[in-house]
Amino acid sequence: MTSSTLRVGGLLLFPGAGTGCDHPSLVAIETAVADASAPTGDRLPVVRADFPYRRAGRKAPDRAPKLIACVRDEAEALARSAGIAPSAVALGGRSMGGRMCSMAVAEGLPAAALVLVAYPLHPPGKPDKLRIDHFPAIDVPCLFVSGTRDPFGTPDELESHTAAIAGPVTHAWVDGGRHELKGADDQVAAIVRDWLTAL
């Protein structure tokens, strides 16, 4: 696998609301994807980025428009630094980070694909407060990696609602995993690596 033979020319990852870009799952994904591309060519550029509130040392996330603007800025910076088209950048991350990337793509940000780990379909215990209004406007390949016991969305809920996405959707399940997917970093990273390789 080389960056020249991939539909994907770079990968940009964002963390969930309560963590930073050094989250173990994001580090594991970066390592797996970069190592897979190394033997036969240049390493695929992978960037783990923090949102502005995190960089400023604040715990409360900014509102969605500011977070989405950050996704756009970081995606453009990665494309520029890697010398690739914006449409060759895959976007995603954990929970809120992945959700903001999906919203940016729905608003027109070019992307090769979306990698959505532990997508927060709804707040725990509030299945009526769905975060899916933007799904029909997503037309790129999407990978959803979630635990089968995630209170933010059951497998049945996710599969039902992601059917509204215009692009092809792949689901991968971590058996018994909750939202944090503790202890499953290597499994999640392997799933992401293999899916990106197959695009």
* pLDDT reported for residue 2: 34
| Alpha-carbon dihedral angle through residues 181, 182, 187, 188, given to the nearest 10 degrees | 40
Give how far the C-alpha of residue 120 lies from the chain's centroid of Cα atoms, to the nearest Å. Answer: 12
Domains of the chain: 10-198 (3.40.50.1820)
* pLDDT reported for residue 25: 95
Place of tokens 């971590």: 174
> pLDDT of the chain along its 199 residues, tens only?
333 345 789 999 999 999 999 999 999 999 999 887 655 566 789 999 999 999 999 999 999 999 999 999 999 999 999 999 999 999 999 999 999 999 999 999 999 999 999 999 999 999 999 999 999 999 999 999 999 999 999 999 999 999 999 999 999 999 999 999 999 999 999 999 999 989 8
Residues ≥6 apart with Cβ < 8 Å to 127: 157
**Torsion sign across C-alpha atoms 109, 69, 102, 76:** positive
* pLDDT reported for residue 105: 98
At 166, the amino acid letter reads: A
Give the Cα separation of 103 and 170 in Å (integer). Answer: 18
* pLDDT reported for residue 40: 54
